[in-house]
Amino acid sequence: MSERLHKVLAHAGIASRRASERLIVEGRVTVNGVTVSDLGTKVDPDTDAIKVEGRRVVLAHRPKTYLALNKPRGVVTTMKDPEGRPTVREFLKGVRARVYPVGRLDYDSEGLLLLTDDGEMAHQLMHPSRAVEKRYLAKVRGRPDARALARLASGIPLDGKRTGPARVRITRPGENSWLEIAIAEGRNRQVRRMLQAVGHPVQRLRRIGYAGVLLGRLEAGALRPLTGLEVAALRRAVRGGAASPKPVSRARTRL
């Protein structure tokens, strides 16, 4: 539930409401990395990352929730859709925490989607400076040759800027090959656009890993809580800073 920012600061014990208002007006408070100075600003303390002079505001409340969903194709990665299309909210029945997706998966893409009510964690995972690794399986038209794989590995110009290095291997060659690809960026429809650029349009795309969390054999539309080890992996990922993707592993997931 949204609340006035100065009230949230006061409830967190940062300062009195009047002193909290001064902190805001003086530009010493940020919300999701953006400095705010409007006293009318409303925030959601469960999902927004609030900092005062660079230090995170921590509220004493229930433990954070971290979930993995195998998002099916034909589902929008939002909580509501003005066009009336299915959204990920439909898979959250019984979840009491107010979780939100970490990043997005295209309407036509499927696979691992993380959801959490930890606003700071989500913000850090999505921030470009963290270069968090994402892994995908892609079914493409044709069989990419060594030159195409090398272009993907070295980077593809998109919107005037070359993509970062990727790790790619063919997992199932054929007339329509399956590739595994790991990237450490999150540009709009990036994997699809990279493969289109090398002449192998994507026919199916599934995310199988995000920051050390694997999709594994989670059924389409199924939801599960992350383990303590997986949450620890997310924390290591946001502490690690920019880094190139690790070589693509041979961890198995169903095609």
Which CATH number does the domain housing residue 177 bear? Answer: 3.30.70.1560
**Higher per-residue confidence, 120 vs 184:** 184
Does residue 36 sit in the same domain as residue 72? no
Q: What percent of the chain has pLDDT over 70?
A: 92
The per-residue pLDDT for range 31-54, each reduced to its tens digit, is: 999 999 999 999 988 788 999 999
Q: Which of 172, 188, 210 is the last residue of a domain?
A: 210
Give the three-state DSSP class for 180. Answer: strand
Nearest to 36 by CA among 27, 45, 47: 27
Does residue 81 sit in the same domain as residue 116? yes
The per-residue pLDDT for range 7-34, each reduced to its tens digit, is: 888 877 787 788 889 999 999 999 999 9
Nearest to 194 by CA among 163, 171, 160, 161: 163
Does residue 204 sit in the same domain as residue 220? no
Active site residues: 106
Could you tell me if residue 253 is inside a domain?
Answer: no
pLDDT above 90: residue 84: yes
Nearest to 134 by CA among 46, 194, 221, 47: 194
- List phi, psi (to 5°) of 157: -65, 120
Q: Please spell the DSSP secondary structure of 16-59, one letter per residue.
A: -HHHHHHHHHTT-EEETTEEE--TT-EE-TTT--EEETTEE---
Average pLDDT, the chain: 89
Is beta strand 42-43 parallel, antiparallel or unpaired with respect to 3-4? antiparallel
Could you tell me if residue 249 is inside a domain?
Answer: no
Instruction: Name the domain count of the chain.
Output: 3
Does residue 32 sit in the same domain as residue 83? no
Could you tell me if residue 248 is inside a domain?
Answer: no
Could you tell me if residue 136 is inside a domain?
Answer: yes
Could you tell me if residue 204 is inside a domain?
Answer: yes
The per-residue pLDDT for range 52-70, each reduced to its tens digit, is: 999 888 776 667 899 999 9
Q: Please spell the DSSP secondary structure of 134-179, one letter per residue.
A: EEEEEEEEB---HHHHHHHHH--EETTEEPPP-EEEEEE-SSEEEE
The pTM score is: 0.74
Does residue 206 sit in the same domain as residue 152? yes
CA distance 120 to 132: 15
CA distance 244 to 233: 16
| All residues at 6 or more sequence positions from 167 whose CB lies less than 8 Å from its CB, including other chains | 153, 181, 182, 245, 246, 247, 248
Does residue 158 sit in the same domain as residue 180? yes
pLDDT above 90: residue 218: yes
- Domain residue limits at 153: 129-210
Does residue 142 sit in the same domain as residue 189? yes
CA distance 156 to 134: 17
Does residue 133 sit in the same domain as residue 206? yes
Does residue 145 sit in the same domain as residue 114? no
Does residue 101 sit in the same domain as residue 224? yes
Give the three-state DSSP class for 7. Answer: helix
Give the three-state DSSP class for 93. Answer: coil
**In CATH, what number is assigned to the domain containing residue 108?**
3.30.70.580
Could you tell me if residue 192 is inside a domain?
Answer: yes
In Å, how far from its chain's centre is CA 47? 14
Could you tell me if residue 225 is inside a domain?
Answer: yes
- List phi, psi (to 5°) of 33: 85, 0
Q: Which of 14, 34, 56 is the last residue of a domain?
A: 56
Does residue 76 sit in the same domain as residue 120? yes
Both tokens assigned to 167: 């790790």
- 1: pLDDT confidence band, cut at 50, 70 and 90? low
